[in-house]
Amino acid sequence: MILLEFGGTLAKLLLGRKIKFEQGKIIAFDLPFFLCSMETIKEMTRDALKKDIKALTDLYFYGWVYGFVVTKNIVNQLKLKKFEERYKVCMDIMSVLGFGDYQTLSFKRADHAKFKVIGNPFALQFYKNDNIFCYFVRGIESGGGCWVHETLMNNVEFECAAQNGQYCLHANLAPHRIAELGEEFIKKQFDLSYLIEKETKFMKDFGEDPAFFGIE
């Protein structure tokens, strides 16, 4: 069943020419893409881990930019007007990116989306380890979440497949939900004020009004 759904999403994107492989270029949702080895993201993560939370926040932010620019086009091109529609389609597309299969536990617009990322091949490269590793992919998830929820979302990792060998437990959270988590927990996930400053600047540079996402 999962295989059929997965094949369905990928086939739809290819047949609908949302993803195109042409001579010398790959185009997805009207944006230029490239295929990247997990080994690259692994080395980027290892290097950032040797530095500090600012370096890890930068890595998260690069993923966030990916999620933000691509999901804007997904929502517009597929004319996803309703929240539930945006949520389902974007989660289906996340499951074909290569960072695991996405299974939702709960979600509420402009509040949260909590999900399991099953068999995440990126995190499994680090098994077995006590740390969390999914900075880059959490960025992708939350950058996309901004358009799905029409609110600034950021993502935290409660459990990582690097620890349990099976799945990561992630949540896209609106600012009021992140504030509930407590400083000790948050400071392992990102440097939040540094991150929001970068996200706000990117939105403006990209021609978006941060107020649309609830940023004053």
By beta-carbon proximity to Zn ion, the closer residue of 141 and 191 is 141
3-state secondary structure at position 25: strand
Q: How many Cα atoms are found within 13 Å in the side-chain-facing hemisphere of 79?
A: 0
**Can you list the positions of beta strands (E) in 40-127?**
101-108, 112-118
Q: How far apart are CA 131 and CA 161, in angstroms?
A: 10
Smallest distance, Zn ion to C-beta of residue 73, A: 26
Site residue total, Zn ion (CB under 5 A): 4
**Residues 159-178 contacting Zn ion, CB under 5 A:** 160, 168
Interacting positions 79-138 with Zn ion (CB under 5 A): 123, 134
Cα angle value 127/130/135 (rounded, 5°): 80
9 vs 125, beta carbon nearer Zn ion = 125
Stretch touching Zn ion by CB under 5 A, among 27-35, 76-84, 156-164, 203-211: 156-164
Helix (H, G, I), strand (E, B) or coil at 169: strand
CB of 137 to Zn ion, least distance (A): 7
Binding flag, residue 41, Zn ion (CB under 5 A): no
**Contacting residues toward Zn ion, per CB under 5 A:** 123, 134, 160, 168
